[in-house]
Structure 1
Amino acid sequence: MSAFNLTSSSPPIFILNGIPGLEAAHIWISIPFSTFYIISLLGNFMVLFVVKKEQTLHKPMFLLLCMLALTDIGMSTCVMPKALCIFWFSFKGITLDGCLTQMFFLYVFAVTQSAVLVTMAFDRYVAICDPLRYATILTNARIAKLGLVGLIRAVLLVLPLPLLVRRLPFCANRIILHMYCEYIAVVKLSCGDTIVNRTYSLVITVVIIGLDLIFICLTYGLIIRAVLRISSKKAHRKAFNTCTAHICVMLMSYTPFLFSTVTNRYDQDSIARVHIILSNLYLLVPPMVNPIIYGVKTKELRDKVRKYICRM
């Protein structure tokens, strides 16, 4: 441990510890991690490729799927290359600038994804509750503008996070008990006043993620109410089938994130380990499963993907 006892005059190097308590099993842990990552890249790039190639898929819903795929690729790629270096080669060191860069892009992709999920909920609301005006309300150009607004919102909200961390003093302990530069995990290493950092982190979580979740829940509440007013059972099944994929993706995206955010406020070893595992699952499982969910539930996309796979 003497190698990790860095003084405040040392260069700003942090040590990413991977998964605490399981260091001896890092090689074995890397097998499912790398497998999940490869599957997520293949699935999401397949979605991007098929939608780009097929003119019939140049619609708002599939444009949103491409945005979701890009955020999935971005989030997992911000973390996995460095994580695999830790697992395979024990390259645990990361500079302060590298840590802040990873933190910035990771949270930008995460907040942008939340905006994309909100837009997808609104897309389903218009498609089911006001189908006659769908083509005029949600055009490709309007969806692209909404995606750009979501990205700008993410950059403006996330940019203060690394700036607030940079002003903190770091003393002897620079060991991050994580496999990536998770914001609160880095803040906890400071020997200075972190009240501003913690408060801003909580504000982002409550205001942004909270408001996005409230909007999504209200939207699907209105969708369910509209569907229940339809007398035809066939129409019920069609409407609910349309929303099933979106609901599954949103549950997989928000549930581990919210639980991870709550558990990160506690310092007990058992809770901290649960938090780290959930954080890793949040970055690996949804990007891997999202293309599968939409490939199964969206007939147009499923048929086009099958066509390209059969050509190989």
Structure 2
Amino acid sequence: MSRTLRVHPQYIQTVKSIWERKSDGSERVLAEELGLALPQIHLFLKGQFLTGLDFLEICQALNLNWREVAGLHLPDSSDSTLPVASTPKNSLPNSSLDTAVLNLNQAVDELVGVLCEMLRRLTRKVGDFIRADRTSIFLLDSQRNVLGSINAEDGQGGSLVIEVPLNRGIASLAATTSSVINIPFDVYNDPRSEESKKIDKITGYRTYTILAWPLFNKEQNLVAVVQLINKLRPNCDPGVELSRRIDINGFTEADESLFATFAPSILQVLERCQFCYQLTQQLREDTQLNKHKPDIIFQKAQLITELKQQEQQLRKILDRM
């Protein structure tokens, strides 16, 4: 799992050519028309890492297949920061530093894998409870001021962590205002829906109604935002197109009351998920930045025991769900 992606070296020249043809010498104007930041586009064109959301937006604007551009279909996609399968037994590290980095990355990946499954089960549980077609759980990383949600396939059977800054989207608005946001049918008529429209263009989905609910711990610190999308009519046929399954009444006051009674039952689990999310993301970042610094890597490697303990705790919770 990764929160960053970049253009695979094999496709950098192709992507540059597409951008040059599309911009035709007026790249700043085109960037503004697309609603994209020019510095981010330059990083994209150089094959530098971007947040998953920025990467997807640029690919969509240029009509590119993001999985292909990131090289996820290639036999060796380790150029990105996506998780790499466990090292083959006949492939031995070159040094104790390599071993420490490998062990640390494997411990992080194992914990993240369990965290993914935990969040998947929680989102299904919440969605079924409120009759929402889609549900996302955004975990707050207060140190980096982002909300992280597992909501995109990585092309390898796993998921991407899409990180959203606290100034973008409905979930972020719920987080920063500490308030429940309920947008009725049709979301696109609401001036706050611009980010939802962008995401829909990327995913091919259509958002009609939204309920975003911030969750706080006993100290009144934000833990997560649960975002429910598209309230469904009761007993509707899942095979029917989405527009015919939508409950145009949206999420009602009764739904809000129902979720308010349900939320405490998942809050404690989400607090543990939040801790694990922050821990793994920080370790990934530290390992990437300091992979050639033995003292720091060996110090971080001492956290492997804690990572395994957290993984075991999450597995116990999963077994009870």
TM-score over 0.5 for the pair: no
Q: Which structure carries more relative contact order (alpha carbon 8 Å, separation 6+)?
A: 1
- The structure carrying a bigger strand percent of its residues is 2
Going by fraction, where is helix more abundant, 1 or 2? 1
Q: TM-score, normalised to structure 2's length?
A: 0.29
